[in-house]
């Protein structure tokens, strides 16, 4: 909020030291400067889901660097959102989606959640196997057609 400064010129405005919820006549004590300002998880997710593939790829590299630096909780949160962004853009079997899931598994394993990590690795492995089988079948069909022609 802004208020008119009593000692200032008629057109001078300055920030009101009270919050809108503070009682009249009671100045606001001040902001807690010991904590950093962060966006909520929902806001971060909304922003990430609207990013271009190039921007999501850059954030994925940032998330992997967080893992390598040991910031596992922050990394796993970011990787989860990035995996959803990739999934919404390219589907569940896209290599970038699977890469995010793999790194989520690494974080889970390092955090001591072995069962969840194994489930994540198994999911990535099954998807990769399914993709390879599909590629192999596609390759066989194309070579069979070329032999017949």
- Burial of 79 per CB tally in 10 Å (0-12, 13-18, 19+): buried
The pLDDT of residue 123: 95
Which of the pair, 138 or 14, is modelled with greater confidence?
138
Q: How confident is the model at residue 4 (pLDDT cuts 50, 70, 90)?
A: very low
More confident site: 124 or 41: 124
Domain 52-148 matching CATH 1.10.10.10: the answer reads: no
The two structure tokens encoding residue 50? 């609207």
Residue with tokens 């919820």: 21
- Long-range interactions of 129-138: CB distance < 8 A, separation 24+: 130/93, 131/93
Domain boundaries, the chain: 52-148
The rounded Cα 37 to chain-centroid distance in angstroms is: 17
Confidence check: pLDDT of 99 > 60: yes
* pLDDT bucket at 49, cuts 50 / 70 / 90: confident
Angle subtended at Cα 115 by Cα 125 and Cα 117, rounded to the nearest 5 degrees: 45
């Amino acid at each position: 909020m802004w208020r008119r400064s009593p000692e200032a010129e008629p057109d001078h405005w300055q920030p009101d030291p009270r919050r809108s919820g503070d009682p009249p006549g009671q100045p606001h004590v001040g902001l807690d400067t010991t904590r950093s300002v962060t966006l909520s998880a929902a806001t971060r997710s909304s922003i990430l889901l609207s990013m271009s593939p190039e921007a999501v790829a850059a954030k994925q590299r940032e998330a992997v660097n967080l893992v390598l630096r040991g910031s596992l909780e922050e990394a796993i949160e970011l990787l989860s959102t990035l995996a959803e962004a990739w999934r919404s853009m390219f589907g569940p079997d896209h290599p970038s989606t699977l890469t995010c899931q793999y790194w989520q598994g690494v974080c889970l394993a390092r955090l001591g959640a072995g069962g969840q990590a194994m489930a994540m690795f198994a999911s990535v492995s099954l998807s990769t196997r399914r993709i390879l089988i599909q590629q192999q079948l596609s390759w066989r069909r194309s070579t069979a057609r070329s032999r017949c022609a």
